[in-house]
Structure 1
Amino acid sequence: MDKKTVVITGVLGGIGSQLAKTFKENNYHVVGLDVRAAEVPYCDKFFKFDLHQYCSDANYKKELEAVFDAEIPALFLLINNAAVQILGSVAEVKLEDWNQTLNVNLTGPLMLSQFFLSRLEKSMGSIINIASIHHQLTKKRFVAYASSKSALVGLTKAMSVDLQGRVRVNAISPAAIDTQMLRDGFDNDEAKVQLLNELHPSQRIGKPQEVSQLALLLAEDKLGFINGANLNIDGGISNVLKDLE
């Protein structure tokens, strides 16, 4: 039996690389896309791919789609995982940063879903959008990122309705996940990471493999009734109301 094919954007990130590993270990043919070029051990195919340029440059879009037509003849699952996080307050955010954030985090997932739609429909497959807890709870200076992730959850719901009976569409919204990107954001200070662990009712932050295992479950037919859902994977942090000390 032919392997099912999954396309994963942002495959070189902490969550993206774990998605590739999990699906590879479960007998999927893994196609990885990322704006960076590097060795990717869990991908059967890898393409250097700039989502921002894909959404803003018609010639680049046409060129890459010709490559995908030749190299990805069938598709069972599209995971829109790639994202950019450009911080800035309302007063600081630049139009070019806003546009890049929306292109990568929102418009790109829509355009890729549109491009691969006929292949996904033929395989009775699905789309998984990796959103964020920032669609619901956010912090200062996350104006562009939080807006894009809120819209991605809305897009997920709208697409599930629009594509009813054709392709399932779901979202996963992780909170703090233990990736190098997260640790870099805390200056690799283990004491700060420990404090973050303790904020969660689970008393720890999440692991990339927990996100990838949830994606695997969503992709399989055994949970085929889940459609248009946004599943929080947040260790209970979204239930916490913190008192003043």
Structure 2
Amino acid sequence: METKKTVVITGVLGGIGTQLAQTFKENNYTVIGFDVKDQQSPYCDKFFKFDLHKYCSDADYKREAEATFDVEIPEIFVLINNAAVQILSSLSELQLQDWNQTLNVNLTGPLMLSQYFLAKLEKAKGSIINIASIHHQLTKKRFVSYASSKSALVGLTKALSVDLQGRVRVNAISPAAIDTQMLRDGFDNNEAKVQMLNEIHPSQRIGKPQEVSQLALLLAEDKLGFINGANLNIDGGISNVLKDLD
């Protein structure tokens, strides 16, 4: 019987994170989930309540977490850095603590987890997948911290692919609007607004979490091993749209 490969997914309880866990579980992976929330997931073989912000800012917390992972995660084939925070503010109202938390969770955390798991990923000839965002290239007002962090995450992906050449592949996925509860909450669960969002995409709909997870699964597998240092947009064509005035 083929040995199951292990995937570690951060932000595993969110809309995309849950679907990532389900897709990899259904494809015979051992799924290890990290999330700052403490809830059970039916798709995780192991789950750890884990605070990426504290991991990056508290040396004692980092040491204790890694001591646990040393024992509980003996091997890993794929690291998916999916966890993110999105704190909206304009430049004039931006708080330094919000900026630092955003960078810790969205950028420094992926860097430090990649560093921590590097030896095990290299041994498994595995890969790292960073979940970035369309905001790395197209953004809106009040997304200063989030857009900056996702731009840097794409840059980190490219830099790591070069730095780790021949050792571990590193790729990024940049979704646009994906139909999650977080997105709907951002539109105050207003179905008319969500419908308008569907219609401005050339695909005439927004994305589904399983489309992101299926792309991640393809990137994780050896069949597409020549894809390295790539950032793949999954955006329904919205990045090609220049809106005319009505």
If the TM-score is normalised by the length of the shorter chain, which range does it land in? over 0.9
Aligned pair 1:85/2:116, yes or no? no
- Counterpart for residue 222 of structure 1: 223
- Counterpart for residue 32 of structure 2: 31
- Counterpart for residue 60 of structure 2: 59
- Counterpart for residue 47 of structure 1: 48
- Counterpart for residue 146 of structure 2: 145
| Offset at residue 39 of structure 1 (A) | 1.4
User: 1:150-177, CA deviations, whole angstroms, 9 ceiling, x for partnerless residues?
Assistant: 0000000000000000000000000000
In the alignment, the residues of structure 2 paired with residue 75 and residue 38 of structure 1 have an alpha-carbon distance, to the nearest angstrom, of: 23
In the alignment, the residues of structure 2 paired with residue 167 and residue 12 of structure 1 have an alpha-carbon distance, to the nearest angstrom, of: 26
Structure 1: which amino acid aligns with 2:153? L
| Offset at residue 244 of structure 1 (A) | 1.0
Match of 1:42, SS? coil
- Counterpart for residue 96 of structure 1: 97
In the alignment, the residues of structure 1 paired with residue 3 and residue 202 of structure 2 have an alpha-carbon distance, to the nearest angstrom, of: 42
In the alignment, the residues of structure 1 paired with residue 8 and residue 200 of structure 2 have an alpha-carbon distance, to the nearest angstrom, of: 34
- Counterpart for residue 106 of structure 1: 107
Task: State the aligned residue count.
Answer: 245
- Counterpart for residue 155 of structure 1: 156
Structure 2: which amino acid aligns with 1:25? E
- Counterpart for residue 119 of structure 1: 120
In the alignment, the residues of structure 1 paired with residue 94 and residue 4 of structure 2 have an alpha-carbon distance, to the nearest angstrom, of: 44
In the alignment, the residues of structure 1 paired with residue 106 and residue 93 of structure 2 have an alpha-carbon distance, to the nearest angstrom, of: 20
In the alignment, the residues of structure 1 paired with residue 48 and residue 186 of structure 2 have an alpha-carbon distance, to the nearest angstrom, of: 27
- Counterpart for residue 73 of structure 1: 74
Structure 2: which amino acid aligns with 1:239? N
Structure 1 runs not aligned, ≥5 long: none
Structure 2: which amino acid aligns with 1:133? I
| Offset at residue 60 of structure 1 (A) | 0.2
- Counterpart for residue 169 of structure 1: 170
Match of 1:91, SS? helix
Q: Which runs of 4+ in 1 moved over 3 A?
A: none
| Offset at residue 102 of structure 1 (A) | 0.1
Structure 2 runs not aligned, ≥5 long: none
Match of 2:94, SS? coil
User: 1:65-90, CA deviations, whole angstroms, 9 ceiling, x for partnerless residues?
Assistant: 00100000000000000000000001
| Offset at residue 192 of structure 1 (A) | 0.5
| Offset at residue 120 of structure 1 (A) | 0.1
In the alignment, the residues of structure 1 paired with residue 16 and residue 146 of structure 2 have an alpha-carbon distance, to the nearest angstrom, of: 17
Structure 1: which amino acid aligns with 2:39? A
Quote the RMSD (CA, aligned, Å): 0.3
- Counterpart for residue 236 of structure 2: 235
Match of 1:87, SS? coil
| Offset at residue 2 of structure 1 (A) | 1.7
